[in-house]
């Protein structure tokens, strides 16, 4: 029989592959078992499903924070180029209030 891991041909009554040591399917096994003997087959898919929604939420928060930071940075650059400095304090206060509100929401 042929090892389904490395492709090495082994004796039909061999229990494990003579080349890589992989456990061999017995000839009595149904065809449905083929491919399921390899340890890593089942795990990855449910793990990805569990990580999915939480990861997406986190990414959205990061994108939002970056958008706000870029917006504030652009506004600050434009205002200082126009030699208007007082709105920067308003902007900084608004940014701090935003960060505080978002910080409280993140914990909850």
For Zn ion, the binding residues (CB under 5 A) are 3, 5-6, 8, 17, 19-20, 22
CB-CB contact of 10 with 2 (8 Å): yes
Q: Tell me how far, at minimum, the Cβ of 24 lies from Zn ion, in Å.
A: 8
Cβ neighbours of residue 57 closer than 8 Å, sequence gap 6 or more: none
| For Zn ion, the closer CB: 6 or 65 | 6
| For Zn ion, the closer CB: 19 or 29 | 19
Tell me 41's DSSP state. Answer: G
Q: Tell me how far, at minimum, the Cβ of 8 lies from Zn ion, in Å.
A: 4
| For Zn ion, the closer CB: 5 or 95 | 5
Cβ neighbours of residue 98 closer than 8 Å, sequence gap 6 or more: 68
Q: Tell me how far, at minimum, the Cβ of 43 lies from Zn ion, in Å.
A: 21
CB-CB contact of 15 with 24 (8 Å): yes
């Amino acid at each position: 029989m042929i090892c389904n891991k490395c492709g090495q041909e082994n004796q039909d009554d061999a229990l494990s592959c003579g080349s890589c040591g992989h456990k061999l399917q017995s000839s009595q096994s149904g065809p449905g078992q083929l491919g399921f003997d390899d340890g890593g087959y089942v795990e990855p898919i449910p793990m990805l499903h569990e990580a999915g929604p939480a990861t997406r939420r986190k990414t959205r928060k990061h994108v939002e924070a970056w958008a706000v930071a870029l917006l504030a940075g652009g506004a600050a650059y434009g205002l200082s180029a126009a030699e208007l400095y007082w709105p920067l304090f308003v902007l900084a206060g608004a940014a701090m209030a935003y960060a505080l509100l978002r910080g409280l929401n993140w914990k909850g």
